[in-house]
Amino acid sequence: MIESGTSEGASRLCQQIFLPALQKAASDARAADGNPSNALNGVTMAFGEMLIALIGRPATVVLLRGFADHLERDPS
């Protein structure tokens, strides 16, 4: 089980580390492949695989379902 963190800490990591790295990876993929859809799908697949490696497949499924529910309730 992963210990609970803070939303401030998670937001800081997202903004300072993960988001820039993912944006660069997506940009590099678009430049190499020329297909924005392939770049998006590649980033999505990599994120899913990273989650599976960190917390396992069953927990990843629960996490992503919960995230989808959150997005549906809060479209901002």
Domain ranges for the chain: 7-73
| CA-wise closest residue to 60 among 18, 7, 10, 2 | 2
Give the C-alpha separation, 15 to 21, whole Å: 10
Size of the chain in residues: 76
Report residue 72's pLDDT band, with 50, 70 and 90 as the boundaries.
confident
For the stretch 6-62, pLDDT in tens is 788 888 998 999 899 988 988 888 889 888 888 888 888 998 999 999 999 999 999
Give the C-alpha separation, 28 to 34, whole Å: 10
Predicted local distance difference test score (pLDDT) of residue 57: 96
Predicted local distance difference test score (pLDDT) of residue 75: 67
